[in-house]
Every structure is written in structure tokens, then in C-alpha cells.
Amino acid sequence: MPESEDFNAKLFIKLYSKIALALGVTSIPSSDVHAVPDTGRGDPSDIRPPLRSSLGYPGQNPEYLLAIYNPGQYVPASLNPDEDVDDRYALSVLLDVVPQFSWVFKQAAGTVSSNYRSILDNKQPPVVHLSPEEKKKLDDSLQTYDAYAEVYEEYYLKYLDALDALDSAKATYRNDRSKPVPSSLYRRLDKAEGDWIARGHREAVEAAVAVIAEYEAMEPALFWRKLQQRYAAGTQENSQSSEFQLVGYSPAYRDWFKDAGWTSFTFSQKDMDNQSRSDAIGVSGNLDLSYGIFRISGEGSYEKDSVYVKMDETELDFSCELMRVSLDRRWMNPLLFWSRAWRWAPSSPLYGTEFSSGGSIADAEPPQGAMTVIPTAVILSRNLRIRGRFEDTLVERMNLEIRANASVGIGPFSISGQFAMEEHSESVRGTIAADGIEAPDVQIIAMICEVLPKCPDPDSTLPWPN
């Protein structure tokens, strides 16, 4: 859809594009490399891509897709997943989704846990074994990983916090040269990366993972038995005897509702005028031609009977705070999606199918399959404020819907909505007036997803059973 055709679509696209850039989930065009202030260091940090770990093999160049909600999903501060198994169940189910390959979040049919379990149940490994020297190298690498994995993750997340703050400031400066990037953000990132290397044992951990990725599946009987045990250990039951795979998160849930860890985000008229489109748009789907920036559902969620409402072009200023929450699936070995040491068993109902055909955002090649991406993080928003002028008839309609307990959203943000999982149901309301909108409560507005390679992709040089 050409941007000039519809203000509502253009606003959503530009808003998405800046959020993606602020989170480092989109490429910086080469023409934009110098659109940052000189740091006196020759700007090496502005030319090199940001260092972000991959779920898969070290040394690869992962691609990430930001799947933005339309609109967001509230999460209540009243949940206590540390002590209440039903709350753990509700959040794990919420975060176990597989998004389609789309920049606007759309849920695929399966879940991460069900797709992963299908590999465990339907795989066929090659007929291989490690030499004694390779076994020792693998054992040493596993010991190194076990010793340093937690501290590696701790300092990596601190590095990502610093990187998000810098990326957000850069994204604003590219569109508004009156708002330079503070030099303190560069210093903060340098310190965070130095701590990740020194205190997080980054080089040792990533070298160990490289060995594990290469060798671990070469002892199939032990490897697959460990994976089955790991999956079973991550299985829990809620009070209604429903099994689920626990999805963890960092920061901890209780910290989502504290003041630390949030990064400021703004979107102004200068962003509307100057923000370039994210490279994910077009490769990963298009907006419905009937799209309106407001979305309403009369039943309290957005599962049924949703309608879009367009608004006339006007100048708006968005401000909010964002938080990246990394997802943790202890029951899963993510290397499995990259491993070439398994294939579907010929007797399996999945024989001949693919999770993903493989693809590339940079090369404009959308992947096909039941699971083309895997969520690695969710993005939270709070303290949303939108300043501008809204028509009185629009405000009146939205307030009528809110008073009737409908869900109302604007772009990726919910103004009113509910959290409804099993026995827990809670409604939240923001406000809308002629001069602005406010939605202070915490909500999920996006998922960061790593694009998966071709999967399965068995290595033809390995000895496979006849």
C-alpha cells in the first residue's frame, strides 16, 4: 500500500519502523550510517552491526523479525508466577506462541513446545559416533558451558539494555537533528560489552557452544535421551491437570512493574515525516486495505468481531517506556532447529514436511512453513501518552466502547482491554480525550523473533539408516 494513500496505514508503518530501529531489529541503510553524532572514535560502533547472540550456531549472522501486536496485550501486576502454578501456566501459554512470518503479529497453528516435541517424537538420527578425542573436547565444552552460562546470560542482558538505550536515541536523532545522542550512552554500551566479555566469560562460552553444536548430536543415543529428559523436566501441570512447558523470562515478572529497566521511546511529527520504512515490511506481509489506526472488539479481546476505525490526518506525539524481556525455555535445546544431524523418520507422519523452507529479510525471500520464526523476547510498554487533536465524534465513540467494556486499541497499543487466562480475568482501562490518550499499564506490544533456517536440513554426507 503506497504511504500516500492512507494516513492510518502510514502512521502504523512509520511507528513500527521506528520501534524496530530503536530495538535494533532492522537494518540501518548504508546511506544512514553517518546520521549519528561523531563520537571521536571514527564511529566504528555505528558502522558494525550490533552484536546480538543467536539461538543457533555461533558465528552465523542471524536475522530478526519484530512482530508487532495490533494492539497490545495487557499483563496484570497481580499475577504471582513464582508461587502460583496457575499463573505460571497462564503466562507460559501466552508466551508459547509461534508467530507467522509477518511484521504484524499473527499466531500460527502450533506452539513452540508442540513443534519441538514433534522433533523429539519423529526424528531419525544418523549412524555416527565420536572419537575419544572428540568426546573429551565435547565433555570439556559442556563443563565450561555449565560453569558460565548463567553469568554469561546476566551480562548479555545488561549489554542488550545498554544497546536498546543507544539504539533508541539514535533512531530519534536520525529523524530530528536537534536531539543528539548523549555520549554517556556510548560509554554505557562500551562498559556493558567489556563486562560481558570479562565477567560474563563471553569468548569461553561461545567457543564452548560452537563445539557443542558441532559434536553433541554425533552421539545420538545419549544426545536424544538427554533431550527427552530435559523436556520432561520442564513439564508442569496446573491445578486443572493441564500440562504445559514452563516459559521463563528475564527480568523476572515482578520486575516488569518496577521503575528500573525501562527505556524512553518517542514518536513525533518529525518521525512521521522522516522515518524510513523497515526492511521487514513488504517481505513479511501487508496491511489489510480496510486498516484503521483504531481497533475495537466488543467482547473484551480481539479474537472476534474486531473492526477498524480510521481517523483523519493530524499531528500526534507518542511517548512511552519500553522494556525488552528475554524468553527462557530450559526444556528446549534451540540448537536443534539448526542441527543437520536429524531428519524426519520415513515412518513419521511429518516425513517430507518442513518447519521452514528458509528465507531472508535482507534478500526479500519470505520463508514458508509451520514455524519460520521463534520468539526470543517480548517488548513491554507502559506510561503511553499520545498528545494531539482527536475529533469529538471519534472520542465519543471510543469512550462509549470503553464504558461498554470493549477492547480498544490504537496501533500497537491497547487503551482498554483484558487479561483472560483460565481462572484469571482482569480488565484495564486507559483514557481518551479530545487532546490525547493515556494508557499507563504494562502491556506486551511486540515479539522479537529469530528467523529460522531451512529445517529440517539433514547433511547428506552423514551416514543415514537405509
Q: pLDDT at residue 334 above 70? A: yes
In a domain, 457, yes or no: no
Confidence of residue 286 (pLDDT cuts 50, 70, 90): confident
Confidence of residue 354 (pLDDT cuts 50, 70, 90): very high
- pLDDT at residue 26, rounded to an integer: 74
Q: Please, what is the average pLDDT of the chain?
A: 89
Contact between residue 421 and residue 97 where contact means Cβ atoms under 8 Å apart: no
Structural domain for 363, as ranges: 3-451
In a domain, 464, yes or no: no
Q: What is the pLDDT of residues 139-161, one digit of tens each?
A: 999 999 999 999 999 999 999 99
In a domain, 463, yes or no: no
Confidence of residue 389 (pLDDT cuts 50, 70, 90): very high
In a domain, 215, yes or no: yes
In a domain, 428, yes or no: yes
- Taking the C-alpha atoms of residue 185 and residue 279, their distance in angstroms, rounded to an integer, is 26
Q: pLDDT at residue 297 above 90? A: no
Number of H helices, E strands in the chain: 10, 19
Give me the amino acid identity at 381.
S
The total domain count for the chain is 1
Helices (H), 337-436: 392-403
- pLDDT at residue 335, rounded to an integer: 87
In a domain, 53, yes or no: yes
Sole residue written with cell 506486551:
444
- Taking the C-alpha atoms of residue 428 and residue 433, their distance in angstroms, rounded to an integer, is 17
- Taking the C-alpha atoms of residue 15 and residue 410, their distance in angstroms, rounded to an integer, is 11
Determine phi and psi for 396, rounding to 5 degrees: -60, -45
